[in-house]
Amino acid sequence: MFEKYIIVEKDTKNIVEDGKVTGFRVAVRVPYYRGLGISMIEDIQLNVDGKPIPSDNLLVELHGNTYSLKAMEKEADDRWEFGEVGYLKVLQPGGLPAGEHKVDVLFNLRISYMPVNGIRKDSKQLAF
Amino acid sequence: MEKKHSIKRGVSLYSFQEEYFLRKMTLEDCIAKCSEFGARGIEIIGEQMVPGFPKLTDEFLEKWFGWMKKYDTVPICHDMFLDFKKFKGQRLTEDEQLQSIIRDLKFANRLGCKVMRVIVSTSPELMEKAAPYAEEYDVKMGIEVHSPWHIDNAWMKRHYEIMEKTGSLYLGFIPDMGTYTKRLPRVMVENMVRKGADEKIVRFVTEAYENGVMSEYIVGEVSAMTKNPIDMAMAEQARFYSYTNPRQLLPYMNRIFHIHAKFYEMLENETEYSIPYDEVIAVLQEGGYQGYLSSEYEGNRHIQDVYDVDSVEQVRRQQNMFKRLLNEKTVVKGTNSAVTA
């Protein structure tokens, strides 16, 4: 459900701060049919060119708020709205080398009425 | 003896999830389309199309009721969820769950909805505890009878016992017409083939399903033929969908105050591929159903991988089918009091 809409191509890019590339971000939407308190997003995994980004290096930026995956576990009131674009941020001086990169994103959603978590993923070739 | 029915037409805005998600339609656009099809009843999932849920600002409410007036529509139902697994590794206590239900009752009340769809996994005990609040906020709570549950199974029987025990007219059923899926949705089957399911297995499963073979047999037999996960996933579909005789609704008519008119694919000839709506609506007419038939399109998830989804056209076709089957002159002007239980 909504898998192919997870990664939003046009907002995915290297992050430039004070003239320096400090990392990169991947724009994503949650593959589900309603908004969710972010504590119910049990896990997000990001792979670039086949290599997993360690979860400790991954931040989620949502309408101006920034969370680590650990911090998301406790946050039930802030909601990732239906269809809202958020950003997976990776702090990595220099960002990604210019050119095409294969990006894989996996969402693990804890939906209470489902007996098991929903695991949904998308994969796109993106230009940085 | 046949009772007088007054079946009204509505749409769950869930139907337009594809276009809303992609920001091709706004909430107002969705409401305008329902009005265009003569479907006056508006059902909404707060968590889907009301940003900031569960908060409702005065500004939002002003717009909401303004649209109702502008498009000559009425709010009928809010669909709630009960996120009892809100935090990893723990469940909300029963009191926390009750508070979540009350939150949604207040939300429905402020939106002007007289009915709230309660997610199927909600326990009868919790419904009993919530009943006084439903009365306080004047919002009827209907447990969604969603496939593979059906109105006569053990879980729903316990819900019925609570309805009878409390005697509350604020408790009832919201049957989802997906329970009357006579053949597996073609859009789902084709999606499984695109994902690599073996065509012979697919044919075996769809034929067995149409013949009413018990899903356990279907899954068991397929597991003897293949270990391929996508083929097994195809076999498992026989468990998620179900067909029961719609006449099973008749003994419960006085507890049915809203209906989810689920559909997966409306054909050009304005019939549904999987669900025999002529049979279903004949039963509702016989039973004197007084509420809304609320369109609930759920085909987008099966075709969005390769097609542009046109939910609006799908809803238009279903609403036309309703007009035909209801002989439209039987349709009374909608009000937001959906039931006389």
The series of mean pLDDT values per 10 residues for chain A, 128 residues long, is 94 92 96 97 97 95 97 96 97 93 98 94 94
Q: Are residues B123 and B159 in the same domain?
A: yes
The ipTM of this complex is 0.96
Residues A82, B21: C-beta atoms closer than 8 Å: yes
Domain that holds residue B217: 186-238
Q: Are residues B49 and B140 in the same domain?
A: yes
Q: Mind giving me the DSSP string for B95-128?
A: HHHHHHHHHHHHHHHHHT-SEEEEPTTS-HHHHH
Q: Are residues B309 and B261 in the same domain?
A: yes
How high is the mean pLDDT of chain B? 94
Whole-number pLDDT of residue A81: 98
d(CA B129, CA B99): 10
Q: Are residues B231 and B263 in the same domain?
A: no
Residue of B22, B47, B87 lying closest to A39 (CB–CB): B87
In a domain, B226, yes or no: yes
Q: Are residues B225 and B250 in the same domain?
A: no
Residues 6+ away with beta carbon under 8 Å from B138: B109, B114
- Domain end marker among B213, B238, B263: B238
* pTM for the model: 0.94
Residues A35, B51: C-beta atoms closer than 8 Å: yes
* Interface of chain A toward chain B, CB-CB under 8 angstroms: 1-5, 29, 33-37, 39-40, 42, 73-74, 76, 79, 81-83, 110-113
d(CA B38, CA B65): 18
Q: Are B246 and B180 in contact (CB under 8 A)?
A: yes
Structural domains of chain B, count:
2
User: Which residues of chain A are within 8 Å of residue B86 when distances are taken between CB atoms?
Assistant: 37, 39-40, 76, 112
Residues A76, B82: C-beta atoms closer than 8 Å: no
Q: Are residues B178 and B42 in the same domain?
A: yes
Whole-number pLDDT of residue A128: 87
Residues A40, B83: C-beta atoms closer than 8 Å: yes
Q: Are residues B100 and B50 in the same domain?
A: yes
In a domain, B214, yes or no: yes
Q: Are residues B223 and B274 in the same domain?
A: no
Distance of residue A7 Cα from the nearest chain B Cα, in angstroms: 12
Q: Which residue has the tokens 């046949």?
A: B2
d(CA A97, CA A20): 13
In a domain, B3, yes or no: no
Whole-number pLDDT of residue B2: 57
Q: Are residues B32 and B180 in the same domain?
A: yes
In a domain, B338, yes or no: no
Whole-number pLDDT of residue B329: 57
| Positive or negative torsion for Cα A117, A119, B45, B179 | negative
φ/ψ (deg, to 5) at A17? -130, 130
Q: Are residues B195 and B267 in the same domain?
A: no
d(CA B165, CA B162): 5
Q: Could you tell me how many CB contacts below 8 A there are between chain A and chain B?
A: 68
Closest residue by Cα to residue B181 from B148, B159, B151: B148
Q: Are residues B180 and B97 in the same domain?
A: yes
Whole-number pLDDT of residue A10: 87
In a domain, B63, yes or no: yes
User: Which residues of chain A are within 8 Å of residue B83 when distances are taken between CB atoms?
Assistant: 37, 40, 112
Q: CATH number of the domain at B129, please.
A: 3.20.20.150
Q: Collect the ranges in chain B with pLDDT lower than 70.
A: 1-3, 329-341
Whole-number pLDDT of residue B328: 78
Residues 6+ away with beta carbon under 8 Å from A71: none
Q: Give B292's strand partners.
A: B8
Q: Are residues B139 and B276 in the same domain?
A: yes
In a domain, B220, yes or no: yes
Whole-number pLDDT of residue A34: 97
In a domain, B290, yes or no: yes
- Domain end marker among B216, B238, B260: B238
